[in-house]
Structure 1
Amino acid sequence: MNTPSSIQAVTVALNPALDQTIEVERLSVGEVNRALKMQVDVGGKGINVASCLADFGIRTAVTGLLGRENAAPFEALFLAKSIANQCFYLDGQTRINTKLVDRASGETTDINLPGPALSADAIEAQLERLMTRLDGLADQALWVVLAGSLPPHWPADTYRRLIDHLHRRGAQVALDASGAALASAIAAGPDIAKPNRDELAELIGRPLSNPTEVMEAARELLARTPGLRQLVVSMGADGALFISREESWLAHPAKVELISTVGAGDAMVAGIIAARIGELSLADSAKLATAFSAAKLARLGPHLPAVQEVLSLAQHVSLSPIA
């Protein structure tokens, strides 16, 4: 574990993964498929966000849980990108996920394992250790990012407890979760949340078939969640909505070569945090975060191109205000 001397952001990765990405020309289910290439990258939302932030020059620390048996790839990434490793180590392996990339369609099929299972007492002990570690990190960092799924048997209110704890410390918190973990945590009022359209629909309790319905649902969620200051809703080909109580923007990226959609949402979260650290307006935040996501589409693994290339993409984001 390396201790940071100065950090700007902390990401929490409770359920990281090694992502094995296999490319095929055209995926045929139930048949023999010949792979074009394969690579293994460290993954999981919290890890991906940290990696993209580091690529953009943001001093970042990551904390969470890693399995000792296959920790080396994570440690290599942290070392290569000067990410402060504040993780806890468990016996056994970090989970391994498989991504099947269909070049013909541009679609990616995910096969994700659940992660390590701990007893209830062990989970509570790890959560207490995590809060203690975050106390020290949050004193330095401008933002803490809670991102990704929870490991098996972790209580659905885990992120809610962390948000409450971090807010008592005066920290600003961004949330990217789903399912019961998101529903519980959103009530605690994270400063920023980034659900996708389906996740927002689940929160609101009705289907959202177009951007107008998404906007209405987002405003409804903001109205009933006093602590929530900003909401970003990714909608795939329909772009992304960036919403505060004062203004709203719809962003569409410039077209880029599509290699894989894996991690594009995580890159957008990183862009949101980079924009907040840079004290950008909501409109400029929308441009930068959308550029992060677009830049990630053309790459495998949790990586961004050079900073100037990301900034160039930001200049080509189509941005429309929403009344």
Structure 2
Amino acid sequence: MILTVTPNPSLDRTYEIPNLERGTVLRATGERMDPGGKGVNVSRAVAAAGHRTVAVLPLGGAPGALVADLLAGQGIETAPVQIAGTTRSNIALAESDGTLTKINAPGPELTPDESRALLSAVAAHARTADWIVCSGSLPRGLTPSWYAELVTRAHESGARVALDTSGPFLTAALSARPDVVKPNAVELAEAVGRPLASVGDAVKAAEELRALGAGAVLASLGADGQLLVSEAGTLYGAASVAAVRSDVGAGDASLAGFLAAGGDGEDALTAAVAHGAAAVQLPGSVMPTPSDLDPAAVLVTADVPLDRAITQQGSPR
């Protein structure tokens, strides 16, 4: 079972438009409404792959109730923590050429009691979890060290932890030794304090995160592939994509595939790349099902193309 923790979930509305023109009336050619937040997306992808998942998340107001209804409609088990604030609503504008513009709301501020209730909800399900996924930004009211405390408690319960966050939330949690961290290129560069021009630069940065406490680093480099840097060595994976429709949640789908395939080694990296490649070809934040995957199209090798330029830097949280 994969338990996900999303401290700052959202109600995501995605509109497909021909192109974005400022100051004009835009008419959408398609629209979707999905439960959002990185951990929520991981749960959705795990469920779509046919595995059990439980989503722990704070919910409040009408948007929070709608998020709960949407998750229930997808057959996802939730452990909601009711809060006084209102769950945020995010907007994504997806252009026909694959360009995505996102407007992310800040979200509610959690009280100390709500913070403790969230940790208690995780503890109540942790002992039945194989992996605990801690994903996304922290809402107002939670300090950067909150993830570190969560990682420590998860390890005490015997679960492995995958951490997908950025900035001070990531660096503060490394000392708690998460089993896997999953930055994109921008987040990896931010964590080491310098730009990354090549895959080789990304490998060195990942090794630095391991030296700071990360057990393994699964780094998404956008169209330039993925890296898995662990105690066993470094693997590189890539797959060609005919057309990108939306990259919302693609990294989360990739992490879900990685963990569902065991969370270590060549098979897990193959699953991660296959899930990510499938996700970018689907609308909005739709998560791929097994029929969408093409693992045969994935190349995974220990012969890492160190000189390959990173052409798609990704986007920060």
When the two structures are superposed, what TM-score results if normalisation uses the length of structure 1?
A: 0.89
- Shift in alpha-carbon separation, 1:219–1:305, aligned structure 2, 3 A: closer
Asked if 1:259 is matched to 2:249, the reply is no
1:207 aligns with 195
Cα distance in 1 between the residues matched to 2:14 and 2:269: 29
Name the amino acid aligned to 2:122. L
Unaligned runs of 5+ in 1: 1-7
Instruction: Give CA deviations for 1:241-260 in whole Å, capped at 9, x if unaligned.
Output: 11112121111123243210
Cα distance in 2 between the residues matched to 1:290 and 1:229: 20
Q: Check the 8 A contact 2:145/2:169 in 1, yes or no.
A: yes
1:165 aligns with 153
Instruction: Give CA deviations for 1:83-121 in whole Å, capped at 9, x if unaligned.
Output: 2110112235311111011113x1101110000124xxx
Alignment partner of 1:314 out of 288, 291, 295: 295
2:177 aligns with 189
Cα distance in 1 between the residues matched to 2:68 and 2:215: 34
- Shift in alpha-carbon separation, 1:309–1:37, aligned structure 2, 3 A: closer
Q: Check the 8 A contact 1:68/1:89 in 2, yes or no.
A: no
Cα distance in 2 between the residues matched to 1:160 and 1:74: 27
Percent identity between the aligned chains?
A: 36
Q: Per-residue deviation at 1:306?
A: 3.1
Alignment partner of 1:26 out of 15, 19, 43: 19
1:83 aligns with 76
Name the amino acid aligned to 1:255. V
- Shift in alpha-carbon separation, 1:69–1:92, aligned structure 2, 3 A: farther
Q: Per-residue deviation at 1:79?
A: 2.2
Q: Per-residue deviation at 1:176?
A: 0.3
Alignment partner of 1:303 out of 277, 286, 294: 286
Cα distance in 2 between the residues matched to 1:298 and 1:96: 24
Q: Per-residue deviation at 1:153?
A: 3.2
Runs of 4+ in structure 1 displaced over 6 angstroms? none
Q: Check the 8 A contact 1:43/1:301 in 2, yes or no.
A: no
Asked if 1:288 is matched to 2:271, the reply is yes
Cα distance in 1 between the residues matched to 2:135 and 2:141: 17
Cα RMSD after superposing both structures = 1.7
Alignment partner of 2:104 out of 104, 109, 112: 112
Name the amino acid aligned to 1:166. A
1:231 aligns with 217
Q: Check the 8 A contact 2:38/2:135 in 1, yes or no.
A: yes
Cα distance in 1 between the residues matched to 2:151 and 2:85: 29
**What SS does the corresponding residue of 2:262 show, helix, strand or coil?**
helix
Q: Check the 8 A contact 1:247/1:322 in 2, yes or no.
A: no
- Shift in alpha-carbon separation, 1:41–1:267, aligned structure 2, 3 A: same
1:4 aligns with none
Instruction: Give CA deviations for 1:21-80 in whole Å, capped at 9, x if unaligned.
Output: 111111123433332222221111011110000000110001110113223432233323
Instruction: Give CA deviations for 1:185-207 in whole Å, capped at 9, x if unaligned.
Output: 12211000001111111111211
Cα distance in 1 between the residues matched to 2:286 and 2:93: 18
**What SS does the corresponding residue of 1:86 show, helix, strand or coil?**
strand
Write out aligned runs for 1:93-172 (5 A). 93-104=86-97, 106-118=98-110, 122=111, 124-172=112-160
- Shift in alpha-carbon separation, 1:149–1:155, aligned structure 2, 3 A: same
Q: Check the 8 A contact 2:115/2:142 in 1, yes or no.
A: no
Cα distance in 2 between the residues matched to 1:135 and 1:218: 30
